[in-house]
């Protein structure tokens, strides 16, 4: 089933539209075959870092099986918390379940990645979609919001990194308009990372409410990342 992205009025300034839409938690439940996915900010007062960490572990399991020691493969909930609070963490929620996440960073002066330290660059960290919910448009929805978030705050480019051996992820990001800007070896990693970026353009998603309806995954089936 193709994702159905809903739209809203443009009466608010675009930054306020994006923040208001992503901050609201509207409990919207579908029938047994469909669910409503909504992107909103992670709330440390009511959301669980343990649940978020478990979802990250599931999402990065394939990369771990490839021998890639990504931080999200086995990080503790305490590490998830630190990384999430260094930026602005968003979650995709379906029927009360965290099915996707990303943390958006402004210019990161302390990053080992030169591009992340550069003026005019916003970046995405801890980007993941639960394997059972992949291929349904959730990742694309999050990337569209991230681009909008960056552009409406004056950033010229949006960047992220992924293991260079993960060809399937590089292909996905390229399909969303990202290009490889650099290659780097991050501290403590056994692999080389591809640093990808794209121009941040708010106009492509100006009126989106950052939610979509998807077909519920079967409990006994999970798609590959």
Residue partners of 96: CB distance under 8 A and separation at least 6: 27
- Contact (Cβ atoms closer than 8 angstroms) between residue 223 and residue 134: yes
Residue 75: name the closest of 90, 61, 89, 91 by CA: 61
Read out DSSP for 76-90?
A: -HHHHHHHHHTSEEE
Query: What's the order of all strands across the beta sheet hosting 4-7?
Result: 4-7, 208-215, 34-41, 88-94, 97-105, 121-129, 157-163, 193-199, 179-184
How confident is the model at residue 133, as a pLDDT? 95
How confident is the model at residue 212, as a pLDDT? 75
Domain boundaries, the chain: 4-215
- If DSSP codes are grouped into helix, strand and coil, which group holds residue 65? helix
Strands 121-129 and 157-163: parallel
Report in angstroms the alpha-carbon separations of 47 from 18, 51, 75, 80: 21, 8, 18, 13
- Contact (Cβ atoms closer than 8 angstroms) between residue 200 and residue 155: yes
CA–CA distance, 109 with 132 (Å, rounded to integer): 35
How confident is the model at residue 57, as a pLDDT? 98
Beta bridge partners of 94: 37, 97
CA–CA distance, 52 with 13 (Å, rounded to integer): 31
How confident is the model at residue 152, as a pLDDT? 93
How confident is the model at residue 151, as a pLDDT? 94
CA–CA distance, 123 with 104 (Å, rounded to integer): 6
- Contact (Cβ atoms closer than 8 angstroms) between residue 169 and residue 163: yes
Total Cβ atoms within 10 A of residue 71: 16
Q: What is the pTM of this model?
A: 0.81
Residue 200: name the closest of 121, 87, 125, 91 by CA: 121
Chunk the chain into consecutive blocks of 10 residues (it has 225) and report each block's average pLDDT, rounded to whole numbers: 36 46 40 77 97 98 98 98 97 95 96 95 98 94 94 96 98 97 96 97 62 66 38
How confident is the model at residue 201, as a pLDDT? 87
Total Cβ atoms within 10 A of residue 92: 27
- If DSSP codes are grouped into helix, strand and coil, which group holds residue 184? strand
| CATH number of this structure's domain 4-215, picked from the four choices 3.30.540.10, 3.40.630.30, 3.40.50.280, 3.40.50.300 | 3.40.630.30
Check the CA dihedral 107-24-147-130 and report its sign: positive
């Amino acid at each position: 089933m193709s994702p159905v992205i809903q739209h809203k009025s443009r009466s608010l300034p675009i930054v306020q539209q994006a923040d208001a839409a992503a901050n609201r938690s509207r409990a919207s439940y579908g029938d047994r075959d469909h669910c409503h996915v909504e992107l909103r900010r992670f709330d440390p007062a009511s959301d669980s870092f343990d649940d978020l960490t478990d979802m990250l572990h599931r999402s990065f399991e394939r990369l771990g099986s490839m021998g890639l020691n990504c931080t999200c493969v086995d990080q503790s909930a305490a590490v998830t918390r630190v990384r999430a609070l260094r930026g602005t963490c968003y979650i995709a929620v379906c029927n009360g379940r965290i099915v996707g996440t990303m943390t958006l960073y402004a210019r990161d002066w302390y990053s080992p990645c030169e591009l992340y330290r550069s003026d005019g660059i916003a970046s995405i960290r801890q980007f993941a979609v639960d394997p059972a919910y992949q291929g349904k448009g959730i990742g694309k929805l999050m990337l569209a919001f991230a681009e909008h978030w960056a552009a409406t705050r004056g950033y010229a480019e949006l960047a992220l990194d992924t293991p260079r051996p993960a060809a399937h992820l590089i292909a996905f990001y390229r399909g969303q308009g990202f290009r490889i800007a650099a290659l780097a070896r991050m501290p403590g990693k056994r692999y080389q990372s591809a640093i990808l970026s794209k121009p941040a353009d708010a106009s492509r998603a100006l009126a989106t409410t950052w939610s979509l309806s998807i077909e519920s995954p079967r409990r006994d089936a999970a798609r590959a990342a």
